[in-house]
Amino acid sequence: MRVDEWVRKQAPEAWKRVEIRESTKGKIVVDILHKIVWLWDGKEVEARRWHLVVRREIASPEEIQYSLSNADLATSTERLAFMQAKRYWVERPFQDAKTQCGMGEYQARGWFAWHHHMSMVLLAMLFMLEQRLQHHQDIPLLSCADVTTLLKSTLPKRGISEEEVLRQLEVRHKKRQNAIDAANRENSNPNTYGESLLSKAEL
């Protein structure tokens, strides 16, 4: 049986609403279908048991992700949904490493040089993480891009003054905070999700 065909046959109440995690724009909430399934490729001696986890975005129900997990049979739907969403924490550092630390900006012809370059990138990422952790209480929105900007202003060959860098930093943080506040106001209305789903269902 095709998974997408099985999903289309499920009743609306079969989906379970799960809070994945907190984000800068409020809680990430999704709808989850969870089912124990058996898969057989026609070659192995017997079929294998898996958790099938289907994730549907509330704001965009047409966006559906399918995952299989070999987790313990007693693993809860909430835990599986949380594990499925871990991809964000893998991709986020790669994005920072590429945009702020030059992870992809190398012209090495051998593995030795490539390992040297990647070691420097990892050390730079570690430094940025330490700075964000160290200043989390005073500057909770500090990002890798902010650390890069601060370093450019304090290291030799300054482009702009330290005061100007701090002013730009404050402007960016105000914009981020405004976006977070706007998302929180939108999420504070408990009827938003229900009305959205109802209107889509009526169509």
| Percent share of the chain, pLDDT over 70 | 91
Mean pLDDT within 127-131: 94
Query: Rounded to the nearest 5 degrees, what angle is found at the Cα of 166, between the Cα atoms of 164 and 169?
Result: 110
* Tokens of residue 14, six digits: 């079969």
- How confident is residue 202, by pLDDT bands cut at 50, 70 and 90? very low
Domain ranges of the chain: 3-85, 110-184
Mean pLDDT for 7-16 is 93
Q: What is the pLDDT of residues 24-55, one digit of tens each?
A: 778 889 999 999 999 988 888 899 999 999 99
What DSSP element (H or E) covers 188? none
Sort 30 into a burial class: Cβ within 10 Å, 0-12 / 13-18 / 19+: buried
pTM, whole model, 2 decimals?
Answer: 0.58
Average pLDDT in the chain: 86
Edge to edge, what strands does the sheet with 26-39 contain? Answer: 16-23, 26-39, 48-57, 64-69
Q: Which residue has the higher pLDDT, 196 or 150?
A: 150
